[in-house]
Structure 1
Amino acid sequence: MSIKELQQERNQLFSDMFNNIIPKRMPVSFNISPRIIAEYAKLDTLEIQFNYGLLDSVADEASQLIYSDTCPIMPVGLASRIAGGYQAIDSQSFQMGSNGFMQHPEVVGMEESEYPELIADPYACILEKVLPRQHKALSLEDPVKRSLSISALQAENNRQLSNTVPIMNRLIEKYGYYKGAPFGSGGFTAAPYDFIADQLRSFSGISMDIRRNRSEILEACEALLPLMYQLGLPSNPSPEGAVGMPLHMPTFMREKDFVKVWLPTYLKLVQQYAARGIRTQPFLEDNWMRYIDILQELPAGTVMMFEYGDPKLIKEKLGDKFIIKGLFPLDLLKRGTKQQVLDKAKEICDIMLPGGGYIFSFDKGPLMLSDINIENYRVLSEFLRDYAVYDNAGESYGEKLNSENYEIDPNFGKFESKYLTNWNEYKAKYPMTPESMKDYLYRYDMDSLRFYLNLLV
């Protein structure tokens, strides 16, 4: 089979999977973090974080360590936590630890007394209060330093992206990997409650607030909902793309608080995405088994990635409606024998593969070389390629995205803020501006919103 034929086959695997057709075989999708590649190739792991372009010299060797239908080396992005970018804004929210990893310590970006300000104008509260506290160089007290720091941040992020995108594109063409979802079909956001807990009030702060300021949290979640929607909104929705969202807080909450406070705005968010043909991919952190019946309320076609849980129960309760990922214990890949790894993979596949709708993945992503046994990883990936084959390829499976026919709310995602362009005032100041400019100004506002919110997720 030629490289082009292999790539066509791989593209078809993913097209089928995300269009409710049982593929020829389950697509195998793994990636190797830059840290693991650097360690394996005996490169300087700290130097790599400040120049991902150095991976190019070892990219071919690294891509051959395991079998994958997707390129094992991905471009850096939000989840990569680009060190130079956060250092440019003197971040307290994302800092490099003694082990060289960018870490997120527990931090407070909003005081308990400031809920009313968040509710009144969440965007203004984030720009004026939260960002300057979480990233010290964005202080409003030194506007020149703030401007220069933002420029440095943007330049560093662009540099690192341009260091890695060519590597990925070269490997995709050379080895015939899946080309990926259409450009602009993915995104990343957070559940409103999780956003408050993660960057505004901290884990301990929100845990106290849920008892003392329950009504304010409810209002704050509603106020933040349009911002979280805009943050993740793809410009070019496609069944193969998805909006990722790690879900942090529910397993630490009482079920009544989860149902009454956390869930309502999250359901509105994912339903309005689904109404527009946008798939979501939540990472269900920790163990969600006590909420498994509630998860059935999510839109059909949601890609649910589980960290822990009972595969049989998940398949029974959710397998006919959703695409399932996760559940293979990463620790077994490190500590288990080759046979133990294969036995566990076969056990999960035998439960999950029938009927379609499963993509194999670990319960969490490996971060460093010591998290895995490379030989086990290679054997596992090849086993999945050869074992996870369907004898009923071409048949339909599951429920299609937005099978529920959610109605689009044309006003969803709209909000008011003193930092959004007022078209009437703008037109009065610049009367020669044509009406066609109104949409562009709105687009610029939303691009700015995403840029600043991305510093907090």
Structure 2
Amino acid sequence: MYQEKLTRLNTAFKRGTPDRVPVLPIIETFGPYHAGVSVEDAYVKDPNILFQVYNKINEEFYLDGILENGNVFPLKMLSNFGEGLYTLTDKGFVIKGSHGQTMMPDEYEQLIANPFNFFVNVIIPRKFPVLKNDIEGNLGRLKKAVGEMMEFLHYNAVVDGRIENELGLPVLAKGLAILSPDMLLDYLRDFVGVSSDIRRKPQEFYAACEALFISSMEMAIGAYTTPEDNKGVIFVPLHLPTFLKPKDFEKFYFPFMSKFVDEVSVKRGYKIFFFMENNWMPYLDILQGLPDGDMIGLFEHGDLKKIKDSIGNKFCIVGGMPIDLLRLGTVEKCLDKAKECLQLYAPGGNYIFSTDKNLVSLNDAKPENLAAVCQYIHENGKY
């Protein structure tokens, strides 16, 4: 069963026509909520709890795989450094203490000259004040953090192994990468800072993206060193692009997206799963300039038929089912949309049925709606 589903997904990933349309809703913290367990118990307490979450999900919803198990932040490890980027509450993962702009606009020269030294000596002490002026204490924290990071990786490896071996479900995301312009946005300059820098410091912004590119590469291939096993993808969320004018996207973001595809997919053989956040309709012509790698695109908004017609030669197209409809609609209305997905997007292959956004809350989808559309696509999506 595992191999059958993996082959189905990989055929679509390669822009081919599998035996039937793959079903891949993006289930994250919806899983524990639906299973009636706390997110903390599932992600921190016991890997068996998280496995049982997916056992229940697999029993109730037809799936051809999962992107990842939802346990994506090493919270115990981060607690060694005081406030981290994310914390866990009864509502799931939330941002806390991100400190906004951790890099000042006059510090580009330091970043460009040596990104590693700049992060170690400037950004980390600024973001985590507990690390200031305590060399021996810091060494202890770092040793403890490394151990807890290994525990976190082992926790997920146990869960993912059981999901694949006992449930026959491929777990697809074997690595994560953040493109260098998004590193500046997410970790250094925040949205207001990046928007200002592109206007006032365009050369410095571009040079910083170039300086950080190797870090983006290392993030991609460091954890997933065997792309030839053909079992997974590198997950890359794209945050900044759709907040840029198309001409600014083409100038400041696209070169690094294109270079990443060339280095990671074309030259090294990885499959890249891009989460195309927001509306990409104004950028489709520009995306035609990407290298011919193995790219998968999950599109949140826009006309998916036009997207497939425009860049289906570059991307495997993922999406089609609005979570707003799964949340508010009737089973009948949801099945009508699923039928439309098969009619509009499935012809010619190169399509994976999915939700248009992550399912993170129990309110994001009525279980009966999600079960109905997944089963409908599986039964009626045969080529």
The TM-score, its normalising length taken from structure 2, stands at 0.89
Match for 1:157: what amino acid?
M
Structure 2 vs 1, CA of residues 22 and 58 (structure 1 numbering), >3 Å: closer, same or farther?
Answer: closer
Q: Distance in 1 between matches of 2:46 and 2:278?
A: 31
Q: Map 1:212-291 to 2 at 5 A.
A: 212-233=200-221, 234-238=224-228, 239-273=230-264, 274-291=266-283
Q: Distance in 2 between matches of 1:7 and 1:367?
A: 25
> Deviation digits for residues 184-212 of structure 1, max 9, x if unmatched?
x9422122111111111111111111121
Q: Distance in 2 between matches of 1:190 and 1:312?
A: 28
Residue 370 of structure 1 corresponds to 363
Residue 168 of structure 1 corresponds to 160
Q: Distance in 2 between matches of 1:12 and 1:265?
A: 30
Match for 2:348: what amino acid?
G
Unaligned runs of 5+ in 1: 1-5, 391-457
Q: Distance in 2 between matches of 1:249 and 1:388?
A: 34
Match for 2:353: what amino acid?
F
The structure 2 residue matched to 1:95, chosen from 82, 87, 90, is 87
- Is 1:189 aligned with 2:180? no
Question: How many Å apart are 1:264 and its aligned residue?
Answer: 1.8
The structure 1 residue matched to 2:300, chosen from 297, 304, 307, is 307
Residue 144 of structure 2 corresponds to 152
Structure 2 vs 1, CA of residues 7 and 201 (structure 1 numbering), >3 Å: closer, same or farther?
Answer: closer
Q: Distance in 1 between matches of 2:285 and 2:136?
A: 53
* 2:276–2:297 Cα contact (<8 Å) kept: yes
* 2:26–2:359 Cα contact (<8 Å) kept: no
* 1:334–1:372 Cα contact (<8 Å) kept: yes
Structure 2 vs 1, CA of residues 250 and 9 (structure 1 numbering), >3 Å: closer, same or farther?
Answer: closer
* 1:311–1:348 Cα contact (<8 Å) kept: no
Q: Distance in 2 between matches of 1:337 and 1:243?
A: 35
Question: How many Å apart are 1:21 and its aligned residue?
Answer: 4.1
> Deviation digits for residues 10-40 of structure 1, max 9, x if unmatched?
233234334554211122224643x434333
Residue 452 of structure 1 corresponds to none
Unaligned runs of 5+ in 2: none
| 2:382 counterpart SS class | coil
> Deviation digits for residues 382-433 of structure 1, max 9, x if unmatched?
111111111xxxxxxxxxxxxxxxxxxxxxxxxxxxxxxxxxxxxxxxxxxx
Task: Give the percent of matched residue pairs that are identical in Structure 1 and Structure 2.
Answer: 30
Between the two proteins, the alignment pairs up a number of residues equal to 376
The structure 1 residue matched to 2:11, chosen from 12, 16, 19, is 16
* 1:307–1:363 Cα contact (<8 Å) kept: yes
Higher mean C-alpha displacement, 277-286 vs 159-168: 159-168
Q: Distance in 1 between matches of 2:99 and 2:336?
A: 39
* 1:93–1:135 Cα contact (<8 Å) kept: no
Q: Distance in 1 between matches of 2:174 and 2:215?
A: 17
Q: Distance in 2 between matches of 1:286 and 1:245?
A: 14
| 1:361 counterpart SS class | strand
Higher mean C-alpha displacement, 208-217 vs 116-125: 208-217
Q: Distance in 2 between matches of 1:58 and 1:216?
A: 47
The structure 1 residue matched to 2:63, chosen from 58, 68, 74, is 68
Question: How many Å apart are 1:261 and its aligned residue?
Answer: 1.8
* 1:49–1:82 Cα contact (<8 Å) kept: no
* 1:218–1:261 Cα contact (<8 Å) kept: yes
Question: How many Å apart are 1:46 and its aligned residue?
Answer: 3.6
Structure 2 vs 1, CA of residues 68 and 227 (structure 1 numbering), >3 Å: closer, same or farther?
Answer: same
* 2:51–2:163 Cα contact (<8 Å) kept: no
Match for 2:118: what amino acid?
C
Q: Distance in 2 between matches of 1:317 and 1:41?
A: 40
> Deviation digits for residues 314-346 of structure 1, max 9, x if unmatched?
121012332111242111111111011111122
* 2:6–2:231 Cα contact (<8 Å) kept: no
Q: Distance in 1 between matches of 2:376 and 2:204?
A: 51
Question: How many Å apart are 1:98 and its aligned residue?
Answer: 7.3
Match for 1:235: what amino acid?
T
Q: Distance in 1 between matches of 2:14 and 2:276?
A: 23
Residue 325 of structure 1 corresponds to 318
Whichever of the two has the greater Rg, that structure is: 1
* 2:274–2:298 Cα contact (<8 Å) kept: yes
- Is 1:382 aligned with 2:370? no
Residue 191 of structure 2 corresponds to 203
Q: Distance in 2 between matches of 1:265 and 1:93?
A: 25
Match for 1:81: what amino acid?
F
| 2:270 counterpart SS class | coil
* 1:106–1:202 Cα contact (<8 Å) kept: no
Q: Map 1:334-349 to 2 at 5 A.
A: 334-349=327-342
Which protein has the bigger strand share?
Answer: 2
Match for 1:259: what amino acid?
E
Question: How many Å apart are 1:312 and its aligned residue?
Answer: 1.9
Q: Distance in 1 between matches of 2:54 and 2:9?
A: 24
Q: Distance in 1 between matches of 2:10 and 2:243?
A: 37
Question: How many Å apart are 1:60 and its aligned residue?
Answer: 3.0
Residue 177 of structure 1 corresponds to 169
| 1:243 counterpart SS class | strand
Higher mean C-alpha displacement, 353-362 vs 258-267: 258-267
Q: Distance in 1 between matches of 2:160 and 2:219?
A: 25
Higher mean C-alpha displacement, 325-334 vs 113-122: 325-334
| 1:326 counterpart SS class | strand
Q: Distance in 1 between matches of 2:268 and 2:51?
A: 38
> Deviation digits for residues 126-170 of structure 1, max 9, x if unmatched?
121122223344x24222232222233333333344334333333
Extract structure 1 runs of 4+ deviating beyond 6 A: none
